[in-house]
C-alpha cells in the first residue's frame, strides 16, 4: 500500500513535468514562469509539512494518510481546469499541500510495522514508488494526452488516488489494532504498546543535533531530485529535440535505474548490519556509495549522445534514491516512534525550501543563459557535501530520548 501511494504521488507530480515542453508552447509560459509554477508546488509542500507530521503523529497513520491523499486527489483533478500560469500555480499549490503528508505517513507506518534492522529496506521498497511513478507518467501521459487531451491525464491520476483511499481505509491497522497478529509476529516487530498521542513541537526537536542532521541532509539533496523530476523532460527536449512521444523511453530508462537504486540503497545498509556493522557505520557507508554514484552526472549537460546522458543521469537518480532511503531511515534510527513523522516532516520542509530556491535559480539561469552545465555540476557535488555535514552533526547516530510529556531529556 505504501508503494502504491508513493507511485501515485509521484505520477501526479510528474505529469506536469512530462507535459511541460508541450504546454510551454501551447500556453506560452517562459522559463521563469515555469519555475514559478514549480515553486508554487514546493511552497505548498513546505507549508504542508509544517503540520503534516504533527497531524499524523496526533491522529494516527490511518486517518492522517487518508486525509492527505484525499486532498491531493481533488487537487490533481483541479489541474484539468487550469488555463494559464496562475491557474496552474493554484492547482500545483493545492497538490503540494496534500502530497506533503505522504512521506511522514509512510515512514511512520514503516516504524510501526518493521523492526529496526529492516526499516531501510522497507523504506527503499516504498520509496521506489517515486521512481515507478516517474516511469508510469512518461508511458501514460503521452498516450492519454494524444487520445483524450492533456486534461484527461490529470483526471486519470485523480481517479487512482481515490481508489487507493478506499483500499487504505478498508485494510490498514496498526499492530496494536490488528487482531490477526500473533504474539511471535508482535515480538519480531518489536511492537510498542499504544501510548497517548503526544505533540512533539519542532522547537523541541530542533534542540537536538540529530534533527539538524535530517534538516541538512534534505535541504542540500532534495533540490537535486526536484530538478531531475521537473526539468529532465525539458532538458531532453531542448538538448536532443525529443517530442512528447519520444520522451517516454529515455525517462523510463532513467527512473528504472532510480528504482533499482532505491531498493539497492536500503538493501546495502541492511546487508552491512547483518555483517555485524553498527547502524552508524552501515548507514553512512551506504550513503557514501550512493553519493559517489552521483558525481559523474556533472558531465551529463555536455554528453554528445542521448543515451550517454541517460546513463549518467540514470546512475545519479539511482544514487539519489538509495541515499534517500537511508536518510528517511535516519529519522527512526535517531528518534522514538511517536516523533518520527514530525521529524520526517521537518526534514521534508527543509527539502522543499531548498527546492524552492533551486527552482528559482534554474529558471533565471535558463532564461538568461540557456545552459544546464551549472545545475549538473551542483547535482554532482551536493551529496558528498551533505554526507560530510551529516557526519559532523551526528558522528555516532546516538538516538534522542524525548520525555513522554513532551519535554526533552537534557542528556540526549
| High-pLDDT (> 90) share of the chain, % | 41
Query: Does residue 412 register a pLDDT over 70?
Result: no
> Coil, strand, or helix at residue 402?
strand
Q: What is the pLDDT of residue 227?
A: 92
Query: Does residue 405 register a pLDDT over 50?
Result: no
Task: Tell me the per-residue pLDDT of 292-304, one tens digit each, with 9 for 90 and over.
Answer: 999 999 999 999 9
Mean residue pLDDT across the chain: 86
Q: What is the pLDDT of residue 301?
A: 93
CB-side neighbour CA atoms (13 Å) of 203: 2
Residue 401 CA from chain centroid, whole number: 27
Q: What's the CA gap between 312 and 112, in Å, rounded?
A: 37
Q: What is the pLDDT of residue 310?
A: 97
| High-pLDDT (> 70) share of the chain, % | 95
> Coil, strand, or helix at residue 178?
coil
Q: What's the CA gap between 315 and 399, in Å, rounded?
A: 32
Query: Does residue 410 register a pLDDT over 70?
Result: no
Domains of the chain, start order? 2-174+201-393 (1.20.1250.20)
Q: What is the pLDDT of residue 411?
A: 37
Residue 408 DSSP symbol: B
**Which helix (H) or strand (E) is 386 found in, with range?**
helix 373-393
Q: What is the pLDDT of residue 197?
A: 47
In this prediction, residue 403 has a pLDDT band, given cuts at 50, 70 and 90, of low
Q: What is the pLDDT of residue 222?
A: 94
In this prediction, residue 214 has a pLDDT band, given cuts at 50, 70 and 90, of very high
- Average pLDDT on 339-355 reads 85
Alpha helices in 149-208 (DSSP H): 150-171, 183-189, 202-205
Max mean pLDDT among 103-107, 191-195, 355-359, 377-381 falls in 377-381
Amino acid at each position: 500500500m505504501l508503494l502504491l501511494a508513493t507511485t501515485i504521488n509521484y505520477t501526479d507530480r510528474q505529469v506536469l513535468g512530462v507535459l511541460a515542453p508541450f504546454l510551454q508552447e501551447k500556453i506560452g509560459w517562459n522559463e521563469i514562469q515555469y519555475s514559478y509554477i514549480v515553486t508554487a508546488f514546493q511552497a505548498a509542500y513546505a507549508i504542508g509539512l509544517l503540520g503534516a507530521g504533527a497531524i499524523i503523529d496526533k491522529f494516527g497513520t490511518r486517518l492522517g494518510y487518508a486525509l492527505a491523499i484525499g486532498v491531493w486527489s481533488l487537487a490533481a483533478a483541479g489541474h484539468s481546469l487550469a488555463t494559464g500560469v496562475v491557474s496552474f500555480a493554484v492547482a500545483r499549490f493545492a497538490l503540494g499541500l496534500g502530497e506533503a503528508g505522504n512521506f511522514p505517513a509512510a515512514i511512520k507506518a514503516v516504524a510501526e510495522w518493521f523492526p529496526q534492522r529492516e526499516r531501510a529496506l522497507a523504506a527503499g521498497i516504498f520509496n521506489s514508488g517515486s521512481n515507478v511513478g516517474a516511469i508510469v507518467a512518461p508511458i501514460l501521459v503521452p498516450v492519454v494526452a494524444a487520445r483524450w487531451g492533456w486534461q484527461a491525464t490529470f483526471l486519470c491520476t485523480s481517479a487512482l488516488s481515490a481508489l487507493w483511499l478506499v483500499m487504505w481505509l478498508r485494510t490498514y491497522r496498526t499492530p496494536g489494532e490488528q487482531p490477526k497478529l500473533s504474539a511471535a509476529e508482535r515480538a519480531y516487530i518489536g511492537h510498542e504498546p499504544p501510548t497517548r498521542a503526544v505533540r512533539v513541537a519542532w522547537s523541541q526537536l530542533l534542540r537536538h543535533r540529530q534533527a539538524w542532521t535530517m534538516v541538512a541532509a534534505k535541504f542540500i539533496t532534495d533540490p537535486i531530485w526536484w530538478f531531475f523530476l521537473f526539468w529532465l523532460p525539458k532538458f531532453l527536449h531542448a538538448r536532443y529535440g525529443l517530442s512528447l512521444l519520444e520522451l517516454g523511453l529515455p525517462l523510463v530508462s532513467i527512473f528504472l535505474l532510480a528504482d533499482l537504486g532505491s531498493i539497492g540503497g536500503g538493501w546495502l545498509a541492511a546487508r552491512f548490519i547483518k555483517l555485524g556493522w553498527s547502524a552508524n557505520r552501515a548507514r553512512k557507508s551506504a550513503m557514501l556509495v550512493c553519493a559517489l554514484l552521483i558525481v559523474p552526472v556533472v558531465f551529463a549537460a555536455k554528453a554528445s549522445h542521448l543515451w550517454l546522458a541517460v546513463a549518467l543521469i540514470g546512475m545519479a537518480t539511482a544514487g539519489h534514491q538509495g541515499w534517500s532511503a537511508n536518510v528517511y531511515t535516519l529519522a527512526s534510527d535517531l528518534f522514538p516512534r511517536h516523533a518520527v513523522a514530525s521529524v520526517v516532516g521537518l526534514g521534508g520542509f527543509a527539502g522543499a525550501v531548498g527546492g524552492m530556491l533551486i527552482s528559482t535559480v534554474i529558471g533565471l539561469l535558463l532564461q538568461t543563459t540557456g545552459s544546464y552545465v551549472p545545475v549538473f555540476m551542483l547535482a554532482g557535488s551536493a551529496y558528498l557535501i551533505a554526507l560530510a555535514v551529516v557526519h559532523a552533526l551526528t558522528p555516532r547516530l546516538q538516538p534522542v530520548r524525548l520525555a513522554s510529556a513532551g519535554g526533552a531529556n537534557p542528556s540526549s
